[in-house]
Chains A and B, each alone.
Chain A
Amino acid sequence: MGRVVAVAATRPSFVKEAINTRWGVILAGVLGFCVPLMAAVLPEERADALYHSYSGGGVTINGPSILARKTLGKKVSVWGNYYVDSITSASIDVITTASQYTEERTEYGFGVDYLQDTSTLSLAFSNSGENDFVADAVHFSISQDMFGDLTTVSLGYSRGFDDITATGNDGFERKANRQNFKLGISQILTKSFLMELNFETISDEGYLNNPYRSVRYLSGGSYAYQGEVYPNTRTSHAAALRAVYYLPYRAAIKAEYRLFTDTWGIQANTIEAGYVHPFADDWIIEFTYRYYTQTGANFYSDLFPNINAQNYLARDKELSTFTDSTYGVSTSYLFAKKGWRFIDKGSANISYRRILFDYKDFRDLRVQGYAPGTEPLYNFSADVLQLYVSLWY
């Protein structure tokens, strides 16, 4: 929708891919799949309305998100989610190989949780659509409390079905299928110390690259472009350990480590630390630092030596070697703590993150006057803002 020059436009392939994995995350939070410590009770009845804004690297994405959950009887909880990304992209890829474009992506999700003694069964469906990409998915999970409710084990399975088309190429239709396998273990270690361990394997099969994106190769002292070619399969494994500790003066410190590897040769490490501090009865402030590093995919190159240099070709910067660092702060104001009309309590929240991306093998082609392969390396920063209101009822 609204794409200025749609045919040649490029965009991050991982935006597409993330559509499906995003639903895994939503489910982790919304369904309680990764909520072992709360698994034996139904999630709280609440509604959230969020405005989000991302701005960085020539890309602006904003829009609303609404999430509501309602309990039916004593054993059933249902939820619904509506989410929009309004995208204006003049990223470095778009500038160097195409023209700025705008488009909109809309997601819908709904699900149901069923509580039986110390088990919770969850089922959910999701749909994400834009003018050239549709993703449907179904999710199932079960969690079980055990050992005096000190431990909760969760298992999850998802299937995703993507339909990919290309604007300006009427005959182009491709499909991709995805499967997610999840295992979560949560453990109360002491009366002030929680820990959780999550594993997830994701298996993709089908058309996994971006129909608009190109790689560059050396050609007569300069360089030229050809389309990307990705493998038709990808399997990834991720393991994450998280801990949160309650400090003596009512504050909390958090820590997280995640290890990632996949069959494309990407290996990644993520560390994150946070500090949560309530003050003046009605306020909570949280500081976050996050560091991420990854190696590039085996078939990634910023500059290939010739056309069709190898079977698989990629120049998506998300597949290159890079690091990023995040500095974040968020504040919550709690209101109506004793209830007001139909609500039990509410919160107004603002969250800001600044992310610094530093690429080790992706060069800035906007800079002129350099021989191919000697251009300066690319980097950029992004501002991520969230404003949202939550009501419990």
Chain B
Amino acid sequence: MKNFYANRIGLLTLGLTCLLLAACSIEPWVKPYERANLADPIMSFSRDPISSSYINHVYQAREGARGAEGGQGGGCGCN
């Protein structure tokens, strides 16, 4: 069983390393000037943190599941 997990972790590490090395040469396929749609507030996963945190609280208090609720998002990713 120990070997099973060791192999899995090794493969995962190898895969991630390959991914990172490959990604170093990635040319951004969405240029900063093409991010107008992404920057629109309607594209945010949660426009208002105060509201989304409250709603998540409502569900957490009444459901067994918890975690990975996410938060606000969206924006253009450009400085």
Interface residues, chain A, with chain B CB atoms under 8 Å away:
12, 14-15, 17-18, 21-22, 24-30, 32-38, 40-41, 48, 50, 52, 54, 65, 67, 81, 145-152, 180, 182, 184, 186, 188, 190-192, 194, 196, 198-202, 236-240, 242, 244, 246, 250-252, 254, 256, 258, 260, 262, 264, 266, 268, 270, 276, 278, 284, 292, 294, 297, 318-319, 324, 330, 332, 349, 351, 353, 355, 357, 384, 386, 388, 390
Cβ contacts under 8 Å, B21 to chain A: none
Counting from the closest, the 3 A-B pairs by CB-CB distance are A148-B28, A29-B49, A28-B71
- Bitwise interface map of B from 36 to 62 toward A, beta carbon under 8 Å scored 1, else 0: 111011111111111111111111111
* Cα separation A150 to B23 with both chains bound (whole Å): 11
Chain B residues with a Cβ closer than 8 Å to the other chain, count: 52
Q: Are A37 and B49 in contact (CB under 8 A)?
A: no
- Bitwise interface map of B from 49 to 79 toward A, beta carbon under 8 Å scored 1, else 0: 1111111111111111111111111111111
Cβ contacts under 8 Å, B36 to chain A: 191
Q: Are A252 and B68 in contact (CB under 8 A)?
A: no
Q: Are B28 and A250 in contact (CB under 8 A)?
A: no
- From residue A21, how far is it (CB to closest CB) to chain B in Å? 5
Given known A-B contacts A14-B60, A40-B79, A150-B29, A26 and B37 have beta carbons under 8 A apart: no
Q: Are A260 and B67 in contact (CB under 8 A)?
A: yes
Cβ contacts under 8 Å, B47 to chain A: 332
> Nearest residue in A to B36 (C-beta to C-beta)?
A191
Q: Are B73 and A34 in contact (CB under 8 A)?
A: yes
Cβ contacts under 8 Å, B18 to chain A: none
- Choice from B45, B50, B57, B71 contacting A22 with Cβ under 8 Å: B57
- Choice from A191, A246, A319, A386 contacting B30 with Cβ under 8 Å: A191
Q: Are B68 and A239 in contact (CB under 8 A)?
A: yes
B35 at interface (Cβ–Cβ under 8 A)? yes
Q: Are B23 and A147 in contact (CB under 8 A)?
A: yes
Given known A-B contacts A67-B49, A388-B50, A24 and B73 have beta carbons under 8 A apart: no
Given known A-B contacts A250-B40, A351-B51, A353-B55, A196 and B63 have beta carbons under 8 A apart: no
25 sample A-B contacts, Cβ–Cβ < 8 Å, listed by A number = A12-B61, A18-B57, A25-B57, A29-B52, A29-B72, A30-B71, A48-B48, A50-B54, A149-B79, A150-B77, A188-B35, A191-B30, A194-B43, A202-B67, A242-B70, A244-B73, A246-B38, A260-B68, A262-B64, A276-B42, A284-B42, A294-B65, A324-B62, A349-B48, A353-B58
